[in-house]
């Protein structure tokens, strides 16, 4: 069997996509190993999830740095120390800058809760519901310098449950937890 691919998961919140990826790895269905979790929110629940699995966490507040570049260099040093090959954004609420983009060309992926190019950026579910669409979805895409503008890797449609954001959001998260590990496995082979 091929050696696993070393990945870092970047997250800003609770880490449900991190957990879905880790569960898929533990079941032997994703040939990867999470070497590091990076969070820009030191109190984020994803840090607790990672610690419970024995995965190192780099929790840095970007506001503690003089620039985005200085923040990303600190992150890059940790990625190099952990020999990370791919960056997996999973609810990471920051745009990736030139420092990381140039260090990991075509090896940074993100998941977004819409059928891109529709509803990029923050609160995609709210945007979809405000526009009255009947179908939204989930997109896995490469990260580039734009906001949710990278080449699409995989998408899946999700029906909007009319007037019920909570149920719609729950369904989207269920689809995210299926599609992200599948997309990663297709990339990491």
**Residues marked as catalytic:** 112
CB 72 within 8 A of CB 40: no
Q: At CB < 8 A and 24+ separation, what contacts does 144-151 make? A: 144/101, 145/95, 145/98, 145/101, 147/95, 147/120, 147/121, 148/110, 148/112, 148/116, 148/117, 148/120, 148/121, 149/117, 149/120, 150/110
Q: What are the φ and ψ backbone dihedral angles of 43, each rounded to 5 degrees?
A: -95, 10
Using alpha carbons, select from 182, 119, 127, 118 the residue that is nearest to residue 153.
182
């Amino acid at each position: 069997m091929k050696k696993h691919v070393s990945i870092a998961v970047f997250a800003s919140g609770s880490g449900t996509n991190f957990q879905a990826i880790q569960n898929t790895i533990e079941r032997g269905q994703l040939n990867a190993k999470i070497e590091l979790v990076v969070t820009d929110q030191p109190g984020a629940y994803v840090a607790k999830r990672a610690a419970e699995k024995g995965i190192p966490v780099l929790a840095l507040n970007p506001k503690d740095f003089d620039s985005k570049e200085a923040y990303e260099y600190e992150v890059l040093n940790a990625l190099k120390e952990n020999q990370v090959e791919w960056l997996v954004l999973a609810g990471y609420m920051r745009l990736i800058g030139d420092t990381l983009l140039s260090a990991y060309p075509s090896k940074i992926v993100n998941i977004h809760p819409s059928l891109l190019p529709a509803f990029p950026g923050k609160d995609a579910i709210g945007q979809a519901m405000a526009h009255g669409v009947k179908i939204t979805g989930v997109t896995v895409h490469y990260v580039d310098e734009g906001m949710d503008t990278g080449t699409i890797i995989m998408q899946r449609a999700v029906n909007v449950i009319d007037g019920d954001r909570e149920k719609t959001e729950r369904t989207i998260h269920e689809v995210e937890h299926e599609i992200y590990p599948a997309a990663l496995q297709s990339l990491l082979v």
